[in-house]
Structure 1
């Protein structure tokens, strides 16, 4: 089943043929918006959306996301990048420019729980996730029958303590440069620093607690033991610090003393699904800028 097969998605892709997205971060200073706007105006581009944020207005950082339309974009984008780099260098910008028509390709890593995976598959099939799911990778065979009817390749790569390094090497061979982003949809393995380096700020994890509370394993049991009245879930980029990467999205729900650990897991699964789907959607639509260990999310 193709996510882009419905009429609304086809119409959207047609509208996006000449649309680009630019993400910029740089030291705050006068004239940034004017310089970017003037550059795009001189190119004949039409800005259709612009969002900006200044972190600490006195000597801080400036962030902006711009969407614009430009005729014959595909033929002109490389020249546009070259010309804009002059402005970017002058203003000490970190920046990226992507085409809305070029969907990001994602790989979903999963273990035995299906709720986060299913949510992404449903969004993809409905055409609400602007990405192509290139593959699903799992350390268990359990999800194969669920995934393959969607026409998505499924790779079962077992992982044990003794074979972890070998398994990760196989994963790198399978994924390689075929994807832009990896989603850990309740993939219950710690990813090594070597693996992370291949996909810096391109691995998104869903952690089943409201970070920074209850880092690590069995967070619902930790929450129950602590007697919390709110539980949550956190989608974040993966770094070498366990559950410590830049946070993209979070949500919570109230619980009570009447809820046992299984109740917390049941309630939590719903939060996890929604939080991960939001974070992935914002990432693939180029709405997230990472700055140090924080994110600016233009949602």
Structure 2
């Protein structure tokens, strides 16, 4: 009988006997463990088990119900996901600046993503040629003068696209709470500073005015609090104080933004990210585990 692969993920406060408890339960029900990765980060236990369900004795519904109950008994979150090779769907939200969108397109075309860019949505028409050149559908709706109408339109477009991930590629709009709630930890933004320093508008100019020697950018998940979501990746560039102009700083930052954003997207699609206590923790990557198996 061919394998039926699934991943059982367990997250919660570290305690004794977690691996044994789940491994025993699965073995007693004919579930074969193919691979297992575990780590403890700041007292949080994270485990991913790649399993084969082909010979399991209970129904799938019963197995999932029992595993969830097992997790509740020890106050841990349990997720069960059948392995699906269907590519993840990625929606990209943009405004007028093309550098981040172009990097995402380049990486997608190069086969670096375990997913597909499926739509580009914006509040200006400026980047339609970039999207069209890549064969991507593009649509826009102005955010002024009626921002509420813009976000109503955006939610309708996202409902049609059914994305697994939303990427803010210099979208330049504050995402409303209802959108954040609908896509919790599934919206990645690139901010042009080393958060928590220089949040808000014009951070490169603020860094230049402050005379800092190092600036950078931050890829982070979007939450209801502006520029305060869990940080995924950061990188830096140096400022030659007294020689670099504010425009030099901005140009250097933009060259970095697309790369950091694309790397964060790749890590999400590789399932290497998990949010624990409002912090991003790197895991080995469920997709890599499945490939290895």
TM-score norm. by structure 2 comes to 0.85
Q: Deviations over 1:202-239 (max 9, x none)?
A: 11100010000000000000000001111111111111
Residue 28 of structure 2 is aligned to residue 43 of structure 1: no
Corresponding residue number in structure 2 for 1:260: 245
Deviation (angstroms), 1:100: 4.8
Corresponding residue number in structure 1 for 2:136: 152
Residue 35 of structure 2 is aligned to residue 52 of structure 1: no
Measure the CA separation in 2 of the matches of 1:294 and 1:165. 30
Residue 177 of structure 2 is aligned to residue 193 of structure 1: yes
Aligned length: 274
| Unmatched 5+ stretches in structure 1 | 1-16
Deviation (angstroms), 1:242: 0.9
**Could you say if the C-alpha distance between residues 186 and 39 of structure 1 is closer, same or farther in structure 2, counting changes exceeding 3 Å?**
farther
SS in 2 for 1:217: coil
What is the RMSD computed on CA atoms of the aligned residues? 2.3
Q: Deviations over 1:230-267 (max 9, x none)?
A: 11111111111110011111111222212111111221
Corresponding residue number in structure 2 for 1:30: 16
| Residue from 276, 284, 289 that aligns with 1:291 | 276
SS in 1 for 2:96: coil
Does the CA contact (< 8 Å) of 1:40 and 1:46 recur in 2? no
SS in 2 for 1:176: helix
Q: Deviations over 1:247-295 (max 9, x none)?
A: 1111112222121111112211222112111211111222211123212
Residues 219-234 of structure 1 correspond to what in structure 2 (within 5 A)? Answer: 219-234=203-218
| Unmatched 5+ stretches in structure 2 | 285-293
**Could you say if the C-alpha distance between residues 225 and 21 of structure 1 is closer, same or farther in structure 2, counting changes exceeding 3 Å?**
farther
Deviation (angstroms), 1:70: 2.6
